[in-house]
Amino acid sequence: MDSIIEGKVYVLGDNIDTDQIIPAEHLVYDCNDDQERKMYGKYALSSVPEGQQGLPDGQIPFVSEGSYVSDFQIIVGGDNFGCGSSREHAPFALREAGVKAIIAKSYARIFFRNSVDGGFYPPFDSKEDLLSFFETGDQARIDMKKSVVENITQGKVCSFNPLGEIIEILESGDLFSYARKKGLIK
């Protein structure tokens, strides 16, 4: 896993729930079928209501019409990101849409664990509210070794909490690969 993550930012508000991340009507696709799994990326964040996003000029779709992958690689969220049901498809859908990292003020525990256990991407905890620090479309650079995120567009730098021991799970690929590596399962 690279210690530097760069990309375009998509800003969301507080309490983004798993049904907004991937609506229940789109849970019909086979995650193991290469053609069908793309649909999870296509419909990622398709139910986020207008006003939940920190957008300067209205609703900007996360995934453009006709595409399966977003132009945005980094999500910035507020409090309680990933709340709602324990839908394991939520972090999967975001990864399929091209998300490389999420930075939020806080997470619903099950979403955080699903993101880590599946090895989808690092879920960073910000030390401060980043909703006023970023705007959708800003370019960002995350340095995992220094535990900082830089808003390249605005020239600002902010710290986040280090990933700690979960980095080993993410670097292994997922929780089962990590457990095999550590000799915890065969």
Q: Are 123 and 102 in contact (CB under 8 A)?
A: yes
Q: How confident is the model at residue 51 (pLDDT cuts 50, 70, 90)?
A: low
Q: How confident is the model at residue 56 (pLDDT cuts 50, 70, 90)?
A: very low
Q: How confident is the model at residue 2 (pLDDT cuts 50, 70, 90)?
A: confident
What is the per-residue pLDDT for 55?
46
Question: Residue range 58-82: average pLDDT?
Answer: 92
**Does residue 134 have a pLDDT over 80?**
yes
Cα–Cα distance for residue pair 119/77, rounded to 1 Å: 19
Taking all residues of the chain, what is their mean pLDDT, rounded to a whole number? 91
Cα–Cα distance for residue pair 70/146, rounded to 1 Å: 27
Among the four given CATH numbers 3.90.1170.50, 3.40.50.300, 3.20.19.10, 3.20.20.70, the one describing domain 4-181: 3.20.19.10
Percent of the chain with pLDDT over 90: 82
